[in-house]
Amino acid sequence: MEFSGPLVRGTLVQRYKRFLADVTLDSGETITAHCANPGSMIGLQTPGSEVWLSPNQNPKAKLDWRWELIRVDGHLVGVSTSHPNGIVSAAIENGKIAELEGYETQRREVPYGRNSRIDVLLESKDRPPCYVEVKNVNLRRPNGTYPSAAEFPDAVTKRGAKHLVEMTDMVNAGCRAVMFYLVQRDDCDHFRIAADIDPHYAEAFALSRSNRVEAICYTCRMSLDGIELDAPLRMIVD
């Protein structure tokens, strides 16, 4: 995924009301940017951090800027949760995900379950359909129990637990179901479920795995030009 144009650098003043961030641009102007991330963003909202914004191309948007990246300990981290689905979809199309190769077609945002939409549905005439649920991952806690781990979730997610149940239902119906955790940072050496943040999600994840829901994790290559799928990340499931 390439950004639509050159990003603009600034300094984070504050993130608030979940979807808003005040940023002082290098020009000295302070603006309010859209923060497309409903999570807690632990470690990613420290005032004074270097951030990068993109101009908002939507003429109907209320804000002129979108917060795309933040630099943490020298590493770029993707902030927006609106990008992972497209990144994974493009990677599947280009044959970059070995676990998801061999399907003839893919569709996005297909209704399924209980008022849900699957992020990517892969289909072929000679095999069961594959439901792929994509989760954005940008949590790392350097001072936590697992300082080098990418972790999910970063906040309690009842919706995420619901998806795990619905994915299990798809497996029981004879389909394949894959949880795809996309890490929008390149400074982690493994992935874990953050059970201390959301024990219910951790329980639902373990139950889904015991019911043959698959889970894979990939990192991203981060740059000021764009974000691309990089390589598999080792998963440690307690």
The CATH code of the domain that includes 89 is 3.40.1350.60
pLDDT bracket for residue 157 (50, 70, 90): very high
Strands 176-183, 127-137: pairing is parallel
Q: What region, left, alpha or beta, does residue 140 occupy, with left being phi > 0 and alpha being psi -120 to 50 degrees?
A: beta
Helix/strand number for the chain, H first, E second: 3, 14
On whether both 116 and 69 belong to a single domain, the answer is no
Which of 63, 78, 93 is the C-terminal boundary of a domain? 78
The crossing angle, in degrees rounded to 10, of helices 199-210 and 158-172 is: 10
pLDDT bracket for residue 219 (50, 70, 90): very high
pLDDT bracket for residue 58 (50, 70, 90): confident
Question: What is the structure's pLDDT at 121?
Answer: 98
Query: What is the model's pTM?
Result: 0.96
Task: Please state the rounded mean pLDDT for residues 146-159.
Answer: 97
Q: What is the pLDDT of residues 91-101, one digit of tens each?
A: 999 999 999 99
On whether both 18 and 62 belong to a single domain, the answer is yes
Task: Please state the rounded mean pLDDT for residues 122-143.
Answer: 97
On whether both 143 and 94 belong to a single domain, the answer is yes
Question: What is the structure's pLDDT at 56?
Answer: 84
On the question of a cis peptide bond just before residue 142, with omega within 30 degrees of 0, the verdict is no
On whether both 23 and 110 belong to a single domain, the answer is no
On the question of a cis peptide bond just before residue 153, with omega within 30 degrees of 0, the verdict is yes
Q: What is the pLDDT of residues 21-55, one digit of tens each?
A: 999 999 999 999 999 999 999 999 999 999 999 99
Q: Which amino acid is at 188?
A: C
Cα–Cα distance, 217 to 68 (Å, whole number)? 21
Counted domains in the chain: 2
Q: Can you say how many angstroms the Cα of residue 212 is from the centroid of all Cα atoms in its chain? A: 22
Question: What is the structure's pLDDT at 59?
Answer: 78
Q: What is the DSSP string of 199-212?
A: HHHHHHHHHHHHTT
On whether both 133 and 216 belong to a single domain, the answer is yes
1 lies in some domain: no
Which of 78, 113, 129 is the C-terminal boundary of a domain? 78
Cα–Cα distance, 150 to 164 (Å, whole number)? 19
On whether both 176 and 129 belong to a single domain, the answer is yes
On whether both 65 and 162 belong to a single domain, the answer is no
On whether both 97 and 179 belong to a single domain, the answer is yes
Cα–Cα distance, 63 to 28 (Å, whole number)? 18
Q: What is the DSSP letter of 92?
A: H
On whether both 208 and 121 belong to a single domain, the answer is yes
pLDDT bracket for residue 60 (50, 70, 90): confident
Task: Please state the rounded mean pLDDT for residues 118-144.
Answer: 97
pLDDT bracket for residue 61 (50, 70, 90): confident
On whether both 29 and 147 belong to a single domain, the answer is no
| Whether the predicted pLDDT of 238 surpasses 80 | no
Question: What is the structure's pLDDT at 4?
Answer: 86
Q: Which amino acid is at 131?
A: Y
- How many CA atoms lie less than 13 Å away from 216 in the CB half-sphere? 15
Residue 23 belongs to domain spanning: 8-78
